[in-house]
Amino acid sequence: MTSFIIGAHTNRKTPTEWKDDTDHDCSFCRIIAGELPSTRVYEDDKVIAILDILPLRHGHTLVIPKAHYSRVSELPPEYASAVGLAVTKVAHGLTKALGNTALNVVCNQEYAQAVPHVHYHIIPAPSFDSSAGAGAGVLGTVKEKEEKKDGTIPLTRGEMHQREFESREELDEDEGKNLAVRIRASL
């Protein structure tokens, strides 16, 4: 989650399902088991990487250990190292597939974590010189940038985050499959 959403989690009570570390009805465990669909870009015996179904930007990928652990602080060393290797490998493939070496890599623990299963987000950084829409830069269109040069007040950080959030669209299945092929080819 982006920082403007994090504030909404201040003083949030720990959800009941986090009290013990069983998989309950964990959506990631169900994806790993093949019970829910996903677009996998990487997999080994300890880790999977899938495209986010509601990507912040084009190429937003999740790296997930196959064993269910809610907190990264409790992830056993063999899974922590496997996830670290997968993050590096997937980040490399993603940068090659998209032609953009700028990335954000994020892992939340309880605070701002939407799914109680350890996962890392690899999010391509915005491109500030592209057109608006999903995958576009936070500043939006070239016209908006020209307006900024013309003396209007630039967007605040919060406004940029809000625009970024509002530009999110569900992952198109065919587009996701195409991107996954390109990422896998670059691993």
List beta partners, residue 47.
65
Active-site residue identified among 60, 117, 119, 121: 119
Long-range contacts of the stretch 107-110 (C-beta < 8 A, 24+): 107/72, 108/1, 109/71, 109/72, 109/73, 110/14, 110/18, 110/70, 110/71
- Read off the amino acid at residue 18: W
| Torsions phi, psi for 136 (to 5 deg) | -85, 170
119 a catalytic residue? yes
Catalytic residues: 119
